Structure 1
């Protein structure tokens, strides 16, 4: 077989890989069929577990051209299935052994498999591994989405509705009874209100994690100024200042604005009486945009700093909620980073800066590549 013939078979494999209309099963069947044609053997098998031939112990494809004359007469593949000819390679998915792809024939092969044919088997094996890996991670993502959707339904319907009932009755009780029971009823009202808010935050977090909308160019300065207005109107008491250039564009989703709001709201809420919160936007050359949120309070507790850094906590501390988790996911989901200073009074978001639409397209492609690498 000439190099041109070999290249033609490889191109058939690549076309199958890139055909979005095929199911995984159809893609794998087509790829394996190309291997059967190329090697001129009778059949092929994709096995989930390793066969007794010991392919998993080989660093290169294992090839047997004439089993009884090459010391494989006692092997189950020959004894049970009378397979004189065999060539296969091990498969791994997610770094773990998966099985083998093997090409077989009941007739001996003379001469044996060439180096080029063994190389082709290796190519088929790696392509099959890629398809299986995509399937595995797609399944995991689908399961995660189902879990998040279930959590969303529970929080939105069961938890919220029940807590609204508790809050309504507690308010009525607080209006009807004397001081001491009324104070207890007030505690019930506040606690139920906190849980209702927590349920709403969880619903928004689910929305963030399941949103497949790609990032697009956005002006950070416009977002920060809009957030500052919202905080002054509806946020906790305090002063909100903004220091920013005329424009600073980045790649982001609609959730980035919510992340900025959460940082400002958290600072106003816990920085003490009459706090001042400042949003400082800066462009670090053409590559990055930074947003630093500072306050004049005691700073974020250590547990909340760890949340912004993406480190899991065993449980939520009282009043903490899920807002800072939304900040973490909204920023890191578009390739940004979060830094917290030593005393917790300043949080800096570093986002990817863009100057034009072409640069935005390059950043989106890089982001997709990063996610594929993480998989």
Structure 2
């Protein structure tokens, strides 16, 4: 990196103080220097000081050219080292400013203005937006107000210092505006005498000009080091502008995708518009691959008709290439890469392209892409590819979620239809079995009455077995009929006072309670949303089981209720024989019994019926039990709707 050095004068030398008339010099008066040899040292293009040598004794000979050259070399070396230290200090300070997480962008910018003003010896720093089509600037930030120069000022672009910097390959310097042909607006209206500025290209947005200026004349040219330092600050500003723009785009993307009031189509349209703005491209598409074609599902910024337009999926097609790649594909100028023979270029004049693959759970769905009829003079950035990938991921997620929901809905429909058929079958079977069973029971009773005297003990025993079997069959058919009618024959769910239901069931079981010397108590029970008749069956079965499986001691049963989140949990707890852990899931299976009929009577359907009723009420039922320690059956119910009485 080159450096412009200013050499004010060759080394100065004096053989003796008195001889050259320097006896009134402070150095002579204070230190008695009779000989002196020195050169000027520069730093940052300005005089820093001197490098000098002196002696109290007079020198009897002149300084040679070799000595002068050597001193000059030492001075140049010191100037170089001081300039290096100065440059390192400014770079370090700029890094500390730009990397400070506690500062906002505006605070960092003002700190850079201050640092640059010190580095360049210029009073004012500024940044302006460029509007080339309107031939104007808009001043965004300044380090301080200088006359009319302040944020919001809109000077012309052409003929100004900033106009010279706009489009230039590097920083532009102006030290003599009149001589250099810039004696217009900035010089006449604002009074700026010198200028150092650089053009910042902002992708998909308004370019900026970052500059420093002063109302004081500048007597020295800008150095390469100063140009480099300004360029570094401009690169940081460009990075920050890109980062802020990317963050705003991400925030907007989140707002769109998280809006529950928008449909998938509405979100897709807004994302395509957001992508068009983010990438500065004219058109956005969502395409679905169907066989050898791509169907246009959604478009923004194009005349292509949705749903009917087709694009051939031959091997050279842009979208065909995209769906075979794991990362987004971008082409700034299709003619430059030899894609001008592609159907999309020939048929639709798509001169540049940016697209990514979209999946739907079954594999490749198609692509989401953006394009323009003109080529693009700037490369797509990593941030562009990352943002497009986010759009593609969201579309893929929504399509996959939609497909899962459709599958689940189809599965639920099939399950619901299957359950209806099973219910119809169970109802028909249990209903149709009633008549022949009544006939069997009637004839068994006739046999018992007419031929009672003719039967011996063995015959009476056989007849008793047949009657008992018919009775048990009737109980099972009745239970199966009740089970099949839980969904179809239940009453509407409405506010129910569980205390009333409990007291009614306890009264129905009064004979069994007294006969077994049982104690059945309850805490305060809530009002819930339910079918009172079916909830009676739940309490009837659970309390009956608690009495039946009490063991050798008189049954003790307690019912309580606890509010958990948005539901009530009702628990029926006893101190009976309990249930082994590996058998606790079986007890809710229809007709599945843990004990023989000789041990305990019953149909084996009571708990299955309870589970079906609780599930109809939107709850769950479960048991916690230890053999010999009793059981606690719990089931959840929904509270009454707000305002229900």
TM-score bracket for the superposition, by shorter chain length: 0.5 to 0.7
**Is this contact kept in 2: 1:220–1:250, CA < 8 A?**
yes
Q: Does 1:342 align with 2:621?
A: no
Q: 1:235 to 1:335 in 2, by over 3 A?
A: same
Q: Does 1:134 align with 2:412?
A: no
Provide structure 2 residue ranges, at least 5 long, that are not aligned to the other structure: 1-203, 205-244, 276-282, 292-318, 597-601
Name 1:44's counterpart in structure 2: 287
Q: Does 1:192 align with 2:473?
A: yes
**Is this contact kept in 1: 2:444–2:467, CA < 8 A?**
yes
Please state whether the residue corresponding to 1:65 is helix, strand or coil: strand
Q: 1:357 to 1:41 in 2, by over 3 A?
A: closer
Q: Does 1:325 align with 2:608?
A: yes
CA drift of 1:43 comes to 4.1
**Is this contact kept in 2: 1:243–1:280, CA < 8 A?**
yes
Q: 1:338 to 1:219 in 2, by over 3 A?
A: farther
Q: 1:35 to 1:44 in 2, by over 3 A?
A: farther
CA drift of 1:329 comes to 5.4
What's the C-alpha RMSD, in Å, of the aligned pairs? 5.2
Q: 1:106 to 1:221 in 2, by over 3 A?
A: same
Name 2:463's counterpart in structure 1: 182
2: CA distance between counterparts of 1:7 and 1:53?
30
Structural mapping, 1:246-265, within 5 Å:
247-249=524-526, 253-254=530-531, 256-265=535-544
Q: Does 1:291 align with 2:571?
A: yes
Deviations 1:165-194 (A, max 9, x none): 221111122023245363353144124313
Q: 1:228 to 1:46 in 2, by over 3 A?
A: farther
Structural mapping, 1:351-370, within 5 Å:
none
Deviations 1:183-219 (A, max 9, x none): 35314412431331342243145559x9996xx8765
**Is this contact kept in 2: 1:232–1:239, CA < 8 A?**
no
CA drift of 1:330 comes to 5.2
Structural mapping, 1:239-278, within 5 Å:
241-245=519-523, 247-249=524-526, 253-254=530-531, 256-271=535-550, 276=555, 278=557
Structural mapping, 1:1-375, within 5 Å:
18=261, 28-39=264-275, 40-45=283-288, 62-66=327-331, 86-92=355-361, 99-100=364-365, 102-104=367-369, 111-112=379-380, 113-157=384-428, 159-177=429-447, 178=451, 179=455, 180=459, 182-206=463-487, 220-232=498-510, 238=516, 241-245=519-523, 247-249=524-526, 253-254=530-531, 256-271=535-550, 276=555, 278-281=557-560, 291-294=571-574, 296=576, 298-300=577-579, 305-307=584-586, 316-317=592-593, 319-328=602-611, 333-334=618-619, 337-343=622-628, 345-349=630-634
CA drift of 1:123 comes to 2.3
**Is this contact kept in 2: 1:43–1:104, CA < 8 A?**
yes
Deviations 1:58-82 (A, max 9, x none): 5xxx31224999x9x9xxx99xxx9
Please state whether the residue corresponding to 2:574 is helix, strand or coil: strand
2: CA distance between counterparts of 1:304 and 1:168?
35
Deviations 1:216-260 (A, max 9, x none): 876554443333223337999645533233x24376643555332
**Is this contact kept in 1: 2:542–2:572, CA < 8 A?**
no
Q: What TM-score, normalized by structure 2, do the two folds share?
A: 0.40
Higher alpha-carbon deviation: 164-173 or 28-37: 28-37
Please state whether the residue corresponding to 1:278 is helix, strand or coil: strand
2: CA distance between counterparts of 1:272 and 1:327?
23
Q: 1:211 to 1:251 in 2, by over 3 A?
A: same
**Is this contact kept in 2: 1:228–1:240, CA < 8 A?**
no
**Is this contact kept in 2: 1:155–1:203, CA < 8 A?**
yes
CA drift of 1:87 comes to 0.9
**Is this contact kept in 2: 1:13–1:34, CA < 8 A?**
no
**Is this contact kept in 2: 1:56–1:89, CA < 8 A?**
no
**Is this contact kept in 1: 2:322–2:328, CA < 8 A?**
no
Name 2:296's counterpart in structure 1: none
CA drift of 1:119 comes to 1.5
**Which has the bigger relative contact order, CA under 8 A and spacing at least 6?**
1
CA drift of 1:261 comes to 2.2
2: CA distance between counterparts of 1:281 and 1:351?
12
Provide structure 1 residue ranges, at least 5 long, that are not aligned to the other structure: 20-26, 361-375
Please state whether the residue corresponding to 2:328 is helix, strand or coil: strand
